[in-house]
Amino acid sequence: MTRVAIVGAAGRMGRMLIEAVASDDQCALGAAIVKLGDNLLGVDAGDLVGVETQRVKLTDDLAAVVNDFDVLIDFTSPELTMKHVELCRQHGKGVVIGTTGLSADQKNTLAKAAEETAIVFAPNMSIGVNLVFKLLEMAAKVLGDDADVEVIEAHHRHKVDSPSGTALKMGEVVADTLGRDLEKCAVYGREGYTGPRDRETIGFATVRAGDVIGDHTVLFACEGERVEITHKASGREIYARGSVRAVKFLADKQSGLFDMQDVLGLK
């Protein structure tokens, strides 16, 4: 039985994670962390979402419960995530990270931390999205440089980073397969007189509106035909289920930096 800690437990994603952990017979909720001074401090996590769990009270002090869990799930902010990773590194705890918007330096810090503890880091924990990553690799190999590639994504009005981490990962998969450097070939939006499209570029278009959970399409446009690979999320529970699968993957891992492709055996 793997004991799981959830940070951001009082939020929408946190509550879904509590439910997902409680419903899995290989996991148990060990700790539930909320923001400092949250008015739900001391509330039982199971009562919060109406499920049966071991009696776990919401706390705002991760360090105080570090002995109560084996793997931490983190969907917070880059700054908070890095603090949590450092604490887990010091205590040999596994970490599943779904936080987006990490900088290159922060990703390098994750890689160093993974030399001492096991980490799954993925911009999207959805099993379907990670299957799409594999399909994108296949499409890029087949279509090669004959296709113009565009990534179109839509999310709810409250999402703060753009493009989404998932969209960037999709671009990275295609760029790596085609032998390109995404930092050099990415085009983020177009306006005015831009001239003819450069075939080597990978374009990104972003929509922020309403309550869209997450839509992603990668368009491969060739002369005479086009291929579109799309994933649409209809509920956030897909991220919770994928996260629990990642937790179980880490159960026997002592160190290493992994992603959902590793978790799903797609590599």
Selected catalytic residue, list 84, 93, 155, 231 = 155
Tell me the pLDDT of the chain averaged across its residues. Answer: 95
As its CATH architecture, domain 127-233 has 2-Layer Sandwich (3.30)
Q: Is 155 a catalytic residue?
A: yes
Give residue-wise pLDDT tens across range 118-167.
Answer: 999 998 899 999 999 999 999 999 999 999 999 999 999 999 889 998 99
* Superfamily covering domain 2-121+236-263: NAD(P)-binding Rossmann-like Domain (3.40.50.720)
156 tagged catalytic: no
Give this prediction's pTM.
0.82
Domain extents in the chain: 2-121+236-263, 127-233
pLDDT in tens, 63-74: 999 999 999 999
From the candidates 35, 159, 248, 253, which is the catalytic residue?
159
Q: What would the two tokens of residue 124 be?
A: 């999207």
What are the pLDDT digits (tens) for 195-225?
999 999 999 999 999 999 999 999 999 999 9
Q: Do domains 2-121+236-263 and 127-233 have the same CATH topology?
A: no
DSSP 171-217: HHHHHHHTT--HHHHEEE---S---SPPTT-EEEEEEE-TT--EEEE
